[in-house]
Structure 1
Amino acid sequence: MQQLLDVSAGYVGFALEAMAVLVIAVGSIKSFIAGLGAMLFKPSLHDAIREVWLDYARYLIAGLTFQLAADIVSTTVAPSWDDIGRLAAIALTRTFLSYFLERDLADIRDRRQGVSEAKS
C-alpha cells in the first residue's frame, strides 16, 4: 500500500509540476508578445505595460500554486527538511506575489473609478 502511495504521489507531483511549467511558459510568451505590442503601438505606454505585468503576475501566481501543490504532494510521502524548506519558500513567494498583485489591482480599480467619475 505504501508503495502504491509513493508511486501515485510521484505521478501526481510530476503532473502538477508539468502544469506549473506550462502555465508559466504560456504566461511568459503571452506577456512577451503583449509587452512588445504595448511598447510599439500603445500611446499610453505606462498603463499598457502595467496591465501586461499584472496579467503576467496572475500566470506566475497560478504556476506557483501548481508548484506548491506538487511540493505538498511530494512532501506528504517522505518529507525531508529540504522539502519543507522549499515548500515554505514557495508559499512565502506566492503570498508576497498575491499581496502585491492585489494591491496593484486595487490601485488600477481606483484609477479607473476616478477616470469614470471625472467623465460623468
Structure 2
Amino acid sequence: MEEWLRASTEYSVMLINAMALVIILYGAIESFVAAIWFHFSRGDGHRRREIWLRFARWLVAGLTFQLAADIIETSMTPSWDGIGRLAAIAVVRTFLNYFLERDLAEVRGRQGDGTEEKERAA
C-alpha cells in the first residue's frame, strides 16, 4: 500500500509540475508576443501595464501549482534534509507569490482611483 502511495505521489507531483510549466510557458510566450507588438505599435503606458499584469497573473498561477506540488512531495519525503530543502523552496515561492500579488493589487488600485492619470497630467 505504501509503495502504491509513493508511486502515485511521484506521478502527481510530476503532473502538477508539468501543469505549472505549461502555465508559465504560455504566459511567457503570450507576454513576449504582446511586448514585441507593443514595441512596434508604440502603445501607451496603460497597455504596457496590462501586459505586465497579465504576465504576473500567469506567474502567480504557475507558482501556486508548483507550491501545491511541493506540499504533496513534502508529505512523502522521508528525510529531514529533503523536508528542509522543500521547505526552503516553498518559502521562496511563497514570498515571490506574495510580492507579485502585492504589486498586482497596487497597480489595480492605481488604475481604479485614477492616480496614474493624475500623475501624468501633473
> TM range, normalised to the smaller chain?
0.7 to 0.9
TM-score (norm 2): 0.76
Say whether residues 1:26 and 2:26 are aligned partners. yes
CA distance in 2, matches of 1:101, 1:93: 12
Provide the residue aligned with 2:107 in structure 1: 108
TM-score (norm 1): 0.77
* Structure 1 stretches of at least 4 aligned residues deviating more than 3 Å after TM superposition: none
Give the CA RMSD over aligned residues: 2.4
CA distance in 2, matches of 1:11, 1:68: 16
How many equivalent pairs are there?
A: 116
Unpaired runs of 5+ in structure 2?
Answer: none
Deviation for aligned residue 1:111? 2.7
Unpaired runs of 5+ in structure 1?
Answer: none
CA distance in 1, matches of 2:47, 2:4: 50
- Report if the CA contact (8 A) 2:38-2:47 is conserved: yes
Range that drifts further, 62-71 or 86-95: 86-95
Range that drifts further, 83-92 or 21-30: 83-92
